[in-house]
Structure 1
Amino acid sequence: MQKQIIIVVLFLFAISAKAQNIKFEGFVTDPSGIGLEMANVMAVNQATKGMDAYSITNDKGKFQLSLKPNSSYTIKISYIGFSALEETVVTTTENINKIFTLQEGVELEGVEIVHEMPVSIKGDTIIYNADSFTTGTERKLEDVLKKMPGIVVNADGEIEVEGKKVQKLMVEGKDFFDGDTKLGVKNIPADAIDKVQVLRNYNENSILKGVENNQENIAMNIKLKDGKKNFWFGDMTAGIGVGHKEERYLINPKLFYYNPKY
C-alpha cells in the first residue's frame, strides 16, 4: 500500500513538473550594449494569438517572463526612439536567457519613425495603449483591463493595480458614474478606449498635487478614441410582442450617454 502511494505521488509530481512554466529572461540593449530601462517586452502565443506574458525592463535593461513549455512565441520589444523588434522563440522545458539589441529609429525626410509603446510611465502616471492588448473580441472596459499587466478586475467589478484598489474612475478627466468603477467596467465599450491611464498618488485638489505622497490613492482615467467621445454607454435590450393589439417593450435600464461638455 505504501509503495502504491509513493508511485502515485511521484506520478503527480511528474505531471506538475511537466506543466510548470519556464523562465525566459534576458536584457534589452542599444547598439553599444547599454541596457534600456522601461522597454516593453511582450510574448504573444503563436497558437492562440493571445499575450501570455508581459514585462518592462529594469534600470539595467533586464526583463523576465513566465512562458509555457513546448510552445512558439513571437517576442515583441519596443522602446521610444528605437525601431520595434519581433523575434520568434520556441520554448522547451528548459529556462531561456537571451539578449535583444534594438536599433535607433529610422528617419525618412526628417521624420523619425517610432512605434507606440504598449505601456509607458510619466511621473506618477502609467499609460496603457489599449490597442496593444486587444484583439477585437472585447466588449467592455472590463475585458480590456483584464488583459493589461498589473491590473486585476475582481468579480465585484472593483479594479486593483499592483494590489491596490482604484478609488475613482474617470473618462477624459471627468468623473464617470460618480467615479464608480463597478458601473464603468461593465458598461464602457471596449472599442471606444484609446488609452488607460493609472494615476498614482492621485489628489483631487490640484493645489495639493505633489505635496502629499499618498501612493495608496489610485485613480484611473479612460482616454477615448476620436469619433467615440459622444455616444451611449451600456446595453439596451428591446422586445416587442404583438397580439390582440398588445405591444410589449422591454428595455435594459443600463444605458448612459456621455458628452465631454457635461
Structure 2
Amino acid sequence: MLDTVFDIILQRINNLRNSVEVVSKFANTLWVVVADDEETMKLVFKQDGKLMISRKGTVSEGHYEPLLVANSIVITINGESRLYNHVYTDEGLMFLQLDDGESSPFVMINNNLLKGRSPKEYLQEAYVEPQKAKELKATLALTYFTSAWKGTNRVKIYRSQTSNRYFAYHNEEILKQGKYTFENNPTSILVIKELGEIEMFYTIQHYKQKDGSELVIHSKPVDGIINGCKAFVNDAPAPDGRYRLSWLKSVNVKSGVVTD
C-alpha cells in the first residue's frame, strides 16, 4: 500500500515542496514511522538537532542533520548514521528514502492525524480510498443526481450512468463508510458502503392505523413512498395487507415491502 500512497503523493506535489527544510517546520512533533504498512517506531525531531526515538514505549536518543544543499538528511540512531534523501511532504506526511539506490521510501505520519486509527487505516482513508473513488467516478460516469434533501448542497448524490449505483459526496469528497443522520433533517438516514457508495438512503415515516398499531415506512427522500420501500410494524416487517396513509391514500405491503 505504501507504494500506492507514494505515487499519489508524487502526483500532488511534483511542483511543490521537495526539501529537508520541512523538518524544521515539523520539529517537536511526534512522527509515526511506517514500513510495510505497520508502525515501526516513533520519532521527535528536536530544534537542537537531537532525535528522540520510541520503540514500543522504550525511549532512546539519536541525532539528525539536514543537508540542505544535497536535499538530504543524516539520521543517527544507536551510533549508526544513515543518509536519506528524496524528502517528500504532503500535509502531515514525510517520505524518506535511504541513499542506496535500492530501498523503498518509508513514510512518517504526524501522530496528531491518526486520531485513534492505525497508520494503515489512516493511509487507506486519506489517500488510497479517495484515489480509488476518483478513478471510480470516471469509470462509472458519475453525474450529479440530487442533494441529500431540498435546501442543502453539502451532501450531494451522484448516479452512475453505467450501472444502477449511487454515491455520496460531502464538500466534494466521498463520504466515509458508516451510518449518517442530519441535524436539520433527523428522520433521514444515509448508510454508506466503501468508496462512498450508498447502501441505503431513506426517510422514516409514521402512519397510525385504525387498530392502534403504527406503520413505519422507509420512504425515498427524493421519490417518496414507492414500490420497494421497506415497511415495519412493531419493529418487524409489516404483515401482508393494505395500510392507510391518509384519508384518501393507502398502500399494499407484501413480504415487508411496499408493492404499489
TM over 0.5: no
Q: Which has the larger radius of gyration?
A: 2
TM-score, normalising length from structure 1? 0.24
TM-score, normalising length from structure 2? 0.24
Query: Per residue, is there more strand in 1 or in 2?
Result: 2
Higher relative contact order (CA 8 A, sep 6+): 1
